[in-house]
Amino acid sequence: MQPNYEKLRIWQEAMALTLKLYEVSSKFPRSETFGLTSQLRRAASSVPLNIAEGSGRGKKEFVHFLTMSATSINEVLTVLQLALGLVYLTEEEHQLFRNHYLALMRQTQKLISNLRLKM
């Protein structure tokens, strides 16, 4: 039996982005293992984790967990900006991830709005 959250496009996209960020962040300097690398991975993985956890609850709680996912997206965007400034990412990598996370943010906000209308 497939859990319901796995059917959500927003969760699927968040998972795919998280896996890509893990791959890219593995190229960060070793000195960042417990710093920026860890922070980026924690924030990125928090997005699909919160979607999964919230989807198994009522609408009001799901909205809460989606809001936490949105705040994690903001954190990811900030860490990506830092990584760009420290030249751990190319401009192209940064822009690609930024665009994907901004699209994910729009989807998250739309889902929150739709759920609030049904409450």
Q: For position 118, what pLDDT does the model report? A: 84
- Position 85 scores a pLDDT of 98
Three-state SS for 51? Answer: helix
CB atoms within 10 A of CB 96: 15
pLDDT of residue 119: 75
pLDDT digits (tens, 9 = 90+) for 14-32: 999 999 999 999 999 999 9
Q: What is the pTM of this model?
A: 0.94
Say which amino acid occupies 10.
Answer: I
Mean pLDDT by 10 residues, the chain (119 residues): 85 98 96 96 98 93 97 98 97 98 98 91
Domains detected in the chain: 4-117 (1.20.1440.60)
